[in-house]
Amino acid sequence: MTAVIQFLDTPDGAFGIIADDEGRVLASGWTGDPAALLARITPVLRPASVEPGEVGAAAEAALAYYDGEVTAIDGVRVLQSGGVFHQMGWDALRTIPAGSPLSYQQFAAALGRPSAVRAAASACARNAPALFVPCHRVLRTDGSLGGFAWGTPVKQSLLARESRAAR
């Protein structure tokens, strides 16, 4: 499979998107390094080659998000591969409203497994199409940011942007 990679300038720095030939986002994140994005893609979906180009709707949605339309990312198609719990987690992340983050404990409970906090956190950590599958909307139980593959300053910026838009 050949994929396309595009980099956008955002207030949070370079934002890269890798999409397959059907326009589904395989990986995205705040980096200008194609290898960092490729490493996020599970081997079964990792493309044989990546060519610079335009990713279409995903790029438009990311730019609209940064222009204040934080729900623009909701309809972007993504493709990830993982176990049943991770797939369920990734689907559930897309239902968390902008401006209303959950704790990892609340997220685990929303998945029907309130004691599976570590597994819920693992779904966030293994999420490749960041922003479009908004794992940044899950926080530690004490309200602190917790981890984020692209750095906590980016996570904090995204949450602040969404909080402002929700008001």
Annotated catalytic sites, by residue? 135
Considering 22, 42, 73, which residue would you say is the last residue of a domain? 73
Residue 9 phi, psi dihedral angles, 5° rounding: -90, 125
Extract the residue ranges of the chain whose pLDDT is less than 70. Answer: none
My answer on whether 120 and 66 are in the same domain is: no
Greatest Cα pair distance, the chain, in angstroms, is 44
Q: Is 146 domain-assigned?
A: yes
Which range of residues forms the domain containing residue 119?
Answer: 84-166
The pLDDT of residue 166 = 83
The pLDDT of residue 167 = 82
My answer on whether 67 and 89 are in the same domain is: no
120 close to 108: Cβ distance less than 8 angstroms: yes
Q: Is 79 domain-assigned?
A: no
Considering 26, 41, 73, which residue would you say is the last residue of a domain? 73
